[in-house]
Structure 1
Amino acid sequence: MKSVDFLLAFVVLALVSSLASAYDPSPLQDFCVAINDIKTGIFVNGKFCKDPKLATPDDFFFKGLSIPGNTNNLVGSNVTTVNVDQIPGLNTLGISMVRIDYAPKGGQNAPHTHPRATEILFVQEGTLYVGFVTSNQNNNTLFSKILYPGDVFVFPIGLIHFQVNIGKTEAVAFAALGSQNPGVITIANTVFGSNPPINPDVLARAFQLDVKVVKDLQKKF
């Protein structure tokens, strides 16, 4: 009987272990450079991969993060993205990064989420007010901080977060994200700018607003 119990425990342990490791397995090759040619590539993790023998240093290279982004827009910020679309060699490696430029006095990276990545932000220039909001499970608690050059802040995967330049000069930050293609859901654009639009009555009740206000917001987005 003891031997049966031991065998059962061993099987359960092995099953749990296999399920845990199956979520995010390690790559079985050095790299998998993404290409668009479906005739010569192998489909892996959303991209086709070129023959490793044909890879070049340029497949792992990007030039341009030293160039300031144009912040002359409604939110006063610009995000320069470096993901698998800019560096094909990032395919299957699970990382990417961005440069964010903020206009003085209120330039912001508006509230948004990354559905597939945690983000770690490094401030190079300026003063930023940043924060994220927890889920309903944790009472929608705001975690916020004022950051100065050299400071670092982390935004957990999937949570709504933001950055605002509260200084009188331009601000610059760099962020690393735990996905080759983290995705971005900008809250205002998504809710009020969907195509086709969400029924205004639905949004009016959800946000406790007058329907006319909702329709006006939808026009703006």
Structure 2
Amino acid sequence: MNRRVFLGSVGSIASLGTLAYATRDSLETLAVRIWLSEQAASYEGVIDRIFDYLENVLGFDHWTLELSVGGTVSVSTENAARLTTRGEWPMAVAAGELGQRNLEPVSDVNLLVTDGGMEEAPTGYGIPHIASVGGARQIAALEPFDELVDDDWVVPNTTPARTIQVLAHEIGHALGLEHDHGVAFRDGGAVIATPMLSSYAWDPTYDTDRSRCGTIRPSTDGLERKLSLAFSSCARRELE
């Protein structure tokens, strides 16, 4: 597929998705389909763990969540961000939409999970309807949702917990959310960051100090870092 056809295909998918969002009502279905790289698929239970967390994180009353598995995908690299930013994953989705590849996209979120490392950002990437994230081995090692997440949806800032938050973060981008839909807030001696802000809460180069919720990003100096798996109130309003 040449570049012009690819860009046109992705544009068509995005346009159709935008129309669907504009016309859907609160009872519509949110379709999220998950693919694994061949290496990511080698970790037992990774899909089950993703489903466990997404059923909770995206289980809002204003839509019916439909999670499905697309299968495995052969990729040139396990670097999840690069697969989207360089066009490999969007091109695969576009080819599937055109019937030129054995890959069936859904209208809302097409997520590719790889075995990419989670030590250096970016560890994933999201554009309308398309997202990719690394950390398959970390996701497979996660405790079940009900064992890790407290009543306030706060989790420790461990690599496995951060990985599942990044996965929610990239899905948020695929659904149209931006970083400033996320917030950070103080709770005792800790600063807690919600999915769309995530580790940007501790990034001194991140230059937005006020969220769309109207809150100011607090100082994090000397404070414990924790994560929330709950989208902020303004993110939830945008999704609804």
**TM-score, normalized by length of structure 2?**
0.27
Q: Which has the higher helix share?
A: 2
Q: Choose 1 or 2 for highest CA Rg.
A: 1
Q: Which has the higher strand share?
A: 1
